[in-house]
Structure 1
Amino acid sequence: MHRKIITIITLLLATTCFSQKRTIQHKPYIDLRPMHFGILVGMNLQDVEFENIGPQTITLEDGTTQQQTIVCDADRWNTGFSVGVLANLRLNEYLNLRFSPTMHFGAKHLTFHNLTNMGQQEGLLHEERQDMKNTYVAFPLDLKFCAERWNNYRPYMTAGINPMINLTGKSQDFVQLKRSDLFLEVGLGCDFYLPFFKLIPELKFCYSLSDAIDHKHAEELKDANKRIYTNAVTSGHSKMIVLTFYFE
């Protein structure tokens, strides 16, 4: 009796395990190529994380000094778009090296709150705002860790470094970012094998490893009144979330 029960349970488990039948595989040998290329399009969300200096002592026009506290904050994520190309080198069955030069178009919105000077209305803080347009040229180099292919999809994870060059910046803005930055990035995605190409959606998180603020910028400002806002920020790290669609 016990043998019959064990046999029935075994058959049920076997039926469950093999209930997902394999289907016809599209592009069955595409992953065996030593190298292949593609294009990418996507969207990005940009932000920057600031560290503020706190109270500052400034000299007024009449020669007296005053202590003021200004706080800078990027108060929202800003949406942009991304385009680029892809080169993928196969290292082994589960590991690929990927290089994908990309241009990211976007912006960061900064708000400066003067906690010392109040507005005309009681309780209203004086604010200054800056829209920081950013165009990055990125050169990410990632390792792609792939799972086993099942039917026509294959999930994966990525990790790598991403040097970026910032092509934009106004000379008289309150805060200006450095021309170059280095990002650490991790991501996850899935290869979808279609009849004529691979479609690969991927979500990636990028974080700046170095201080992104150009601290020499304060000396270049023509308006001395802006320097208190520029000097309010001691350091900053850029952040980016990128949703990308690769076509290989």
Structure 2
Amino acid sequence: MKKICFVLFFFVSFANIQAQGFLNLFNKDKVINLENFDKKTWSWGYFLGMNSYDFRFDYELERSDILVQKNVGFNIGLIGNVRLNDYIDFRLEPGVIFTNRILEFPQFEENRDRIREVESNYVHIPFLVKFSTKRINNFKPFIVMGGSVAHNLSSNEDNRSDNTSGQFRSKDWSTYIEVGFGIDFYTEYFKFSPSIRGVFGQSDEIVPDNEPSSPWTRNINEMTTRGVFINFTFQ
């Protein structure tokens, strides 16, 4: 986490230096789109994107790792932005995330015991702070960081069946820390913002099997989500 924060700090500092150094050069005879867009207190938009989710396992004993097959998922949602000053905004980005992961337990030979699919369709609600550099004509780099909560609509936490019946269970609710960066591009009619974001789970999501000695869950001390978002925002 410290390394990520350092990289983001370096990114913003470098972008700001470039903005100051080349601002006069870029300003010559350049058409400025949506010149007053960022002066509004409130602004709205939506985003579309992709995701790749993984699991991080903390084990009781050192044994064979559970393998996670990641798949590309889909994100869609809305944006509410509150301007605090020229460089800081508060954002609420409620959305829906569709993803799935396949777990492989190497201690089993037969696929019916070895493979478990974990479907996750989240209602995802991030609370973020956006830190921007000075605008350079029609683009402006930024970083975002904050926290989020998510409700897994595909959760089977209350299912009485467990891995002995082929059901790998995970919890309904989870919490995350989110850190990312991107660039605002000002077009003639709207602001377009591609970004990349890391998502780091802070809550244990596993539901242990009914039998404490279960070969699937007995060695798992904690299971948390981590993932990457690539979002395309339109405001």
- The TM tier, using the shorter chain, reads 0.7 to 0.9
Aligned 8 A contact 2:92 2:127 in 1: yes
**1:87–1:99 CA contact under 8 A, matched in 2:** yes
Equivalent residue, structure 2, for 1:109: 102
Give the conservation status (yes or no) of the 8 Å contact 2:124–2:148. Answer: yes
2:7 maps to 1:20:
no
Label 1:228 to 1:199 Cα distance change in 2 as closer, same or farther (>3 A): same
SS of 1:229's equivalent? coil
Matched residues in 1 for 2:61 and 2:95: separation?
Answer: 37
Are positions 1:54 and 2:40 aligned together?
A: no
Q: Which residue of structure 1 aligns with residue 202 of structure 2?
A: 209
1:167 correspondence with 2:153: yes
- 1:73-84 equivalence runs, <5 A: 73-84=66-77
Q: Take 1:136 and 1:99, find their aligned partners in 2: how far apart are those partners?
A: 16
Matched-pair contact (CA < 8 Å) for 2:26–2:136? no
Structure 2 gap ranges (5+): 1-21
- Contact 2:57 2:220 (C-alpha < 8 Å) held by counterparts: yes
Q: Which residue of 2 aligns with 1:100?
A: 93
Q: Does 1:232 align with 2:219?
A: yes
Partner SS for 2:214: helix
Q: Distance between the aligned counterparts of 2:128 and 2:23, measured in 1?
A: 34
Q: TM-score, length-normalised on structure 2? A: 0.80
When normalised by structure 1's length, the TM-score is 0.76
Which string of whole-angstrom CA distances, capped at 9 and with x for unpartnered residues, describes residues 119-175 of structure 1? 59xxxxx96011111011111000000100011000000110011111113434533
Match of 1:191 among 184, 187, 199: 184
In structure 2, what is the Cα distance between the partners aligned to 1:30 and 1:181? 35
Partner-residue secondary structure (3-state), 2:105? strand
1:37-56 CA deviation, whole Å, 9 max, x = no partner?
A: 0011000000001123338x
CA shift at 1:213, angstroms? 1.4
Instruction: Work out whether residues 97 and 144 of structure 1, in 8 Å CA contact, stay in contact via their aligned partners in 2.
Output: yes
3-state SS, counterpart of residue 20 of structure 1: helix
Distance 1:192 1:165, change over 3 A: same
Please say if residues 58 and 220 of structure 2, whose CA atoms lie closer than 8 Å, have aligned partners that are also in contact.
Answer: yes
Q: Matched residue of 1:75: which SS? A: strand
Question: Deviation of residue 17 (structure 1)?
Answer: 8.0
Match of 1:36 in 2: 43
List per-residue Cα deviations over 1:40-86 (Å, max 9, x = no partner). 1000000001123338xxxxxxxxxxxxx6x4524332210000000
What amino acid maps onto 2:124 in structure 1? A
C-alpha RMSD over aligned residues: 2.6
Name the amino acid aligned to 1:102: G
Contact residue 47 and residue 74 of structure 1 kept, 8 A: no
Paired amino acid for 1:176? R
Q: Which structure dedicates a bigger proportion of its chain to strand?
A: 1
CA–CA distance in structure 2, aligned partners of residues 17 and 92 of structure 1: 20
How much identity, in percent, do the aligned residues show?
A: 25
Q: Which amino acid aligns with 2:74?
A: F
Question: Larger Cα Rg: Structure 1 or Structure 2?
Answer: 1
